[in-house]
Amino acid sequence: MTNHWKSAIITLKSTIQDVIKNLDDSGLQIAIVVSETGNFLGTITDGDIRRGLLRGLTLSSSIDSIIFRDSLVVTPQMSRDMVLQLMQTNRIHQLPIVNETREVVGLYILDEILAPSLRDNIFLIMAGGRGKRLMPHTENCPKPLLSVAGKPMLEHIIDRAKAEGFHKFLIAVHYLGYMIEEYFGDGSKFGVEINYLREEEALGTAGALSLIQDHPTSPFIVTNGDVLTDIRYGEFLDFHVHHGATATMAVRLHEWQHPFGVVRTKGVEIAGFEEKPIYRSHVNAGIYTLNPGVLSYLKPKTQCDMPTLFSRVSEVGLRTIVYPMHEPWIDVGRPDDLQKVNMLEGNH
């Protein structure tokens, strides 16, 4: 929250003309009225002015009779989530913050709360794969450029990350990489910044990281370019930091039901029966948060996958953890996956 709200403060001596000018100048759509000692008295909006003028007041009239004195206010201690709930329930766009001595100390603006705060963390997308299982779709088009609900998979990933405040993207390209570069360019037309890692040969999910020239200074996210999900990337990153991890892997619970009744044996003896048991396991979701230090465990331009990198990090005693995710997720690996995700996105 900036100090821009201070421009909305006016005193009782103001006229209606003064308030109109204040609303125009501040652009905050609210004026906060304080006493000579700085105590909060109430608020004035465009609607209050209109009602006053309809009652016969003029531009030179005092504001005293148009102040809304029952204005809702919050304390500085109230959580952002509570404030958001209060604003949405009461359908208000501005909410003054008033301390215990009735002094105005800030102003919440709904649009600012809803807008994501910018995150300078690098967001790296692996988009170099050939997508052999998706042939013939990928014969003349790299897999991440395949269209889902009218736009490339890669664009869906960038849009979702951008909505959470990420704006610095790195895209690792290999197979038909020039098509990805032609489509996204430097990212300016998408309101983000995009740079590229160009793999001369396929280096695997982790191997491509060895091509990073300017090492990140803070944790960064890596995602496969064919994974479409509703995961909250920002929460994932915060979880990683909160748990003091070096490397975090997003995992999904995978359930598989055995198609047959299972017979448990002990030698030739029957020890028991299980009728079509369900096996549960965590599977790699293809999304990771890594600390910059993990890059030192990679050999330049050498093939390496993520599980191998995680093992190397773990072997030296650094913390590797999982982030169990429950959000919708699909790895678009086969033609029927592409068909399924198009139907799902089309229904959104």
Last residue of a domain, one of 67, 83, 114: 114
Of 10-19, 129-138, 195-204, 209-218, which range is least confident? 129-138
Of 18-27, 66-75, 320-329, which range is least confident? 320-329
Higher pLDDT, 263 or 280: 263
CA-CA distance, 166 to 235, in Å (whole number)?
12
| Beta partners for residue 290, in sequence order | 220, 247
Q: What is the CATH number of the domain that holds 208?
A: 3.90.550.10
CB 156 within 8 A of CB 229: no
Instruction: Based on the fold, state whether residues 110 and 186 are members of the same structural domain.
Output: no
Angle, helices 153-163 vs 177-184, to 10°: value is 50
Instruction: Based on the fold, state whether residues 271 and 123 are members of the same structural domain.
Output: yes
* Residue in 160, 151, 165, 83 with CA at minimum distance from that of residue 122: 165
Tens digit of each residue's pLDDT (9 = 90 or more) over 46-89: 899 999 999 999 999 999 999 999 999 998 888 777 888 899 89
Instruction: Based on the fold, state whether residues 313 and 215 are members of the same structural domain.
Output: yes
* Residue in 287, 283, 285, 228 with CA at minimum distance from that of residue 253: 283
- Quick one: pLDDT at residue 344? 47
Instruction: Based on the fold, state whether residues 139 and 217 are members of the same structural domain.
Output: yes
DSSP for 247-265, please give it: EEEEEEEEEEE-SSPEEEE
Tens digit of each residue's pLDDT (9 = 90 or more) over 114-139: 776 789 999 999 987 665 555 555 55
Residue 242: partners with Cβ closer than 8 Å, 6 or more residues away: none
CA-CA distance, 119 to 60, in Å (whole number)?
47
- Quick one: pLDDT at residue 348? 46
Higher pLDDT, 331 or 66: 66
Residue 242 is part of which domain span?
Answer: 119-346
Looking at the structure of the chain, the number of domains it has is: 2
* Residue in 140, 143, 148, 147 with CA at minimum distance from that of residue 129: 143
Instruction: Based on the fold, state whether residues 257 and 155 are members of the same structural domain.
Output: yes
Q: Answer left, alpha or beta for residue 318, where phi above 0 means left and psi between -120 and 50 means alpha.
A: beta
Instruction: Based on the fold, state whether residues 84 and 149 are members of the same structural domain.
Output: no
Q: Return the DSSP state at 118.
A: P
* Residue in 27, 29, 70, 28 with CA at minimum distance from that of residue 46: 29
Containing 274, the helix (H) or strand (E) segment is strand 269-274
Instruction: Based on the fold, state whether residues 267 and 172 are members of the same structural domain.
Output: yes
Last residue of a domain, one of 66, 87, 114: 114
Last residue of a domain, one of 80, 114, 148: 114
Instruction: Based on the fold, state whether residues 177 and 271 are members of the same structural domain.
Output: yes
CB 166 within 8 A of CB 124: no
Which whole number is the average pLDDT over 145-150? Answer: 78
Burial bucket for residue 183 (CB in 10 Å: 0-12, 13-18, 19+):
middle
Instruction: Based on the fold, state whether residues 177 and 29 are members of the same structural domain.
Output: no
CB 225 within 8 A of CB 154: yes
Angle, helices 46-54 vs 16-26, to 10°: value is 150
Instruction: Based on the fold, state whether residues 226 and 81 are members of the same structural domain.
Output: no
Instruction: Based on the fold, state whether residues 144 and 47 are members of the same structural domain.
Output: no
* Residue linked to tokens 């910044």: 193
Instruction: Based on the fold, state whether residues 260 and 232 are members of the same structural domain.
Output: yes
Task: Provide the 3-class DSSP secondary structure of residue 283.
Answer: strand
Question: Does the pLDDT value for residue 110 go beyond 50?
Answer: yes
Which whole number is the average pLDDT over 184-192? Answer: 91
Q: What is the CATH number of the domain that holds 58?
A: 3.10.580.10
CB 94 within 8 A of CB 107: yes
The proportion of the chain whose per-residue pLDDT surpasses 70, expressed as a percent, equals 89
